[in-house]
Structure 1
Amino acid sequence: MNRYYPIMLNVEECKCVVVGGGSVAARKVEGLLESGAEVVVVSPAISAGLRDLANVGAIRVIEREYLEQDIDGAQLVFAATDQRTTNAKIAKDARSRMIPVNVADAADTGSFIIPSIVRRGGLLLAVSTSGASPALSIRIKKELEQRYGQEYESYTKWLGNLRIRINKMEIDERKRRELLREALDIPPDSWNNDQDEEAWERQIAVLMQRLHGRDCT
């Protein structure tokens, strides 16, 4: 079994090429669009869903068989055709260019795999069994979806806004970290991302008081 190194890539506005036009390719495209990538799909035929995305300009489609030059300048490549020999060629071409490649029908021939993902705004939870059991990954993903509901999108945004303000304070780094840890215990009814600066200052003052109370005990 391959031992993968987990990493989060920033592919926003980066060219990512998906070769294939079926349901597997569509799933790859969906995840890339959620990450802000510039997606190019290469396939002589594409699904209705991909056609809709192309019609609104969300993706670019090259409607023909794959050619080696299609992956020039790509940051990521996805081999998602229903032809194993074609996928193998795509993987070979990508490796020769030092481009990370994912191979749908033979994960171990590619350089990376796609985990099961739960996305809640800035919160991204990824689950992988390194290819041993996709079914287990899906089961754990469903458990995470129930444990971390849609409210965590607002929560992570609130924590990010709070962090920006705390990092501007003239206090030492240790105190900043302690304040941010203290914020994890703030109840959901306080996760207000639309409050004015005075409200933010009051909220931070409450955190300071709580932290001071803990230091005194």
Structure 2
Amino acid sequence: MNLKNWLYLFWTTLLVGAVGSLAVGLILQWTDTVQLNGAVDFLVNVGILLGVGIMVSVYSQMGFFAYLMINYMGTGVFTRRTWQYVQIVLTALALLELMFFRTFVGEGQGGSDIVLSAVILIVACAVAFYKAKLTNGTAWIPTLFFMIAVTIVEMIGVLKIGVNAATAWIVAPLLACNAYQILILHKVLKPAAPAGSAQSPQ
């Protein structure tokens, strides 16, 4: 990946995060009947929502490049098939931890955690299906691993807050940024690859 391609990925991901945060934030505020006094309050509110979305997108990109490094090291240490099994196990453990951990420690978030886990799983399966159509079938497991395990690691901070609205506000643009990056990666890398070479499914 050259500098031009990285900058394209960086700025477009910022845009996805900002738009996602703005849309979800306005919906949550509208359902919560937030009162804004005049145009100045509205503009400040929009600025805050956009700023949070940008920060979420930067955090998402950090997680994405960490995933690429982990995937590179994993394929170097393990055989391809063994690394796939490792990713499946880690993905399942991360999903189970999200679903039941706070219930076990007595923080009373069982119902919302199960709903959140189901949403992440559905989104991850949809993204993996589309990624496999864009590239090839080997992209299924890496995409599920990134969209589930890495996303759950990235959202640990907001889970500690324990407020469902805050979780939705952060997780929605985070999922959007992660999905965008994993789906666009093969297109971003394509110009830098030699003509006729096979592209990585990740």
TM over 0.5: no
**Normalized per residue, which structure has more strand?**
1
**1 or 2, which has the higher helix percentage?**
2
Larger Rg: 1
Range of TM-score over shorter length: under 0.3
Larger relative contact order (Cα-Cα within 8 Å, sequence gap ≥ 6): 2
